[in-house]
Amino acid sequence: MKIIADENIPCAGQAFASLGEVTLLPGRGMQPEQVRDADMLLVRSVTVVDRTLLQHSAVRFVGSATIGFDHVDRAYLQQRGIGFATAPGCNATSAAEYVVSALLVLAERRGFELAGKSAGIIGCGNVGSRVRERLAVLGMRCVVNDPPLQAQGGHDDFVSLDEVLRADVITVHVPYTRDGACPTHHLVDATVLRKLQPGALFINTSRGAVTDNLALDALLAERSDLSVVLDVWEGEPAINLPLLQRVDLGTPHIAGYSLDGKLRGTEMIYRAACDWYGLHGRWRAADYLPAGSVIDCTAPGDMSVAATLRAAVFSTYDIRADDARLRMTLALPAGEQPAYFDRLRKEYPVRREFSTSSVLVNDTAGGAERLLRGLGFPVIESA
């Protein structure tokens, strides 16, 4: 079996080697002639999988190691009888922890407490629900807008988009769609943006085109009271550089890029491929994950709850490092900027999830211990 895989899918070669010959290629710009003789295609979100790419190929199975599928023409795959699988929820924990890190940075910069603030969550699926859990742990009052999920029933706590927009923090976690009953292309447009409350904080980690980037840029030129965190951008990898200069934190589409989440995604599409071909797969992501670490938060004197929380979170994932790397784009010649954006993603440093970092705290740090455990950290009390 011949397998073509995006070179940015971690351990794709090791995982799929038992199923066939694996060739690793850059995902962006993958060409029809490169996949013509392939039996299996493994991609991430930067590869458009449609008739143009596959019509003359032998591909019988496509796996996307992502939670989204807006880059895949699923109707065409179904028409051709091509198997398809994604990795729903694989990086949801990582994306939720990205939001936590961003909020802690901005709370410290702007001098406010997260506890008691309201959070409006647009989209409450795999990622949004995890964000909601963590923000509740931090003492924030969460309201949710998700019309497709609301239509499925089973919950009665959904609110309108207008009510969500009255929150102190707005965070977006929807799939990208142009059609259907609830399209999300430019869901956050100029009209929606103008409804943000004074001093509001807006976060988008879903897809770039869910937010009208030009409208957001124009709004930020007028309103210095707003704080904005963007992980996703319209036109990636050629992003809006004036907008990057205006946002508080900007990162190169890496919110879900923990090693744990990426390997989880590899294992999910590996198992789906094995099921499709009726094979027994033995590869496990857990065998390729390094050991966790211990974070010492027992500094001389009692650390405050807030300081302990920041120390633990930033030791595991500090969003400011990703923001600094992306801002280096601004010093590059125009022709080199898109390639640099992609290189940041390809060469992304190893990042682990909170659950892999045990936090050593003083036995008097009861408030901090509760928050740390609620965010997923194992906690060790010092003697």
Burial of residue 215 (number of CB atoms within 10 Å: 0-12, 13-18, 19+)? middle
- Rounded Cα distance between 174 and 207, Å, is 8
Question: Which of these CATH numbers, 3.90.1150.10, 2.40.50.140, 3.40.190.80, 3.30.1370.170, describes 293-381?
Answer: 3.30.1370.170
Angle at 127 between CA 147 and CA 132, to 5 degrees: 80
How far is Cα of residue 349 from the mean position of the Cα atoms in its chain? 15
Q: What pLDDT, in 10s, does the model give residues 39-94?
A: 999 999 999 999 999 999 999 999 999 988 889 999 999 999 999 999 999 999 99
- Provide, rounded to the nearest whole percent, the portion of the chain with pLDDT above 90: 91
Model pLDDT, residue 301? 61
336-368: burial string, b at 16+ Cβ within 10 Å, e else:
ebbebbbebbeebeebbbbebbbbebbeebeeb
**The one catalytic residue among 28, 71, 234, 236:** 236
Residues carrying CATH 3.40.50.720, the chain: 2-86+258-288, 92-250
SS3 43: strand
Q: Could you confirm whether 282 is annotated as catalytic? A: no
Q: What pLDDT, in 10s, does the model give residues 259-308?
A: 999 999 999 999 999 999 999 999 999 999 999 999 999 876 667 889 99
**The one catalytic residue among 207, 246, 271, 325:** 207
- Rounded Cα distance between 297 and 314, Å, is 12
**The one catalytic residue among 130, 132, 253, 351:** 253
Q: What is the pTM of this model?
A: 0.93
Helix (H) and strand (E) counts in the chain? 16, 14
Residue 53 tokens, joined: 């790419």
Topology of the domain covering 92-250: Rossmann fold (3.40.50)
Residues carrying CATH 3.30.1370.170, the chain: 293-381
CATH annotation of 2-86+258-288: 3.40.50.720
Q: Could you confirm whether 234 is annotated as catalytic? A: no
Q: Could you confirm whether 207 is annotated as catalytic? A: yes
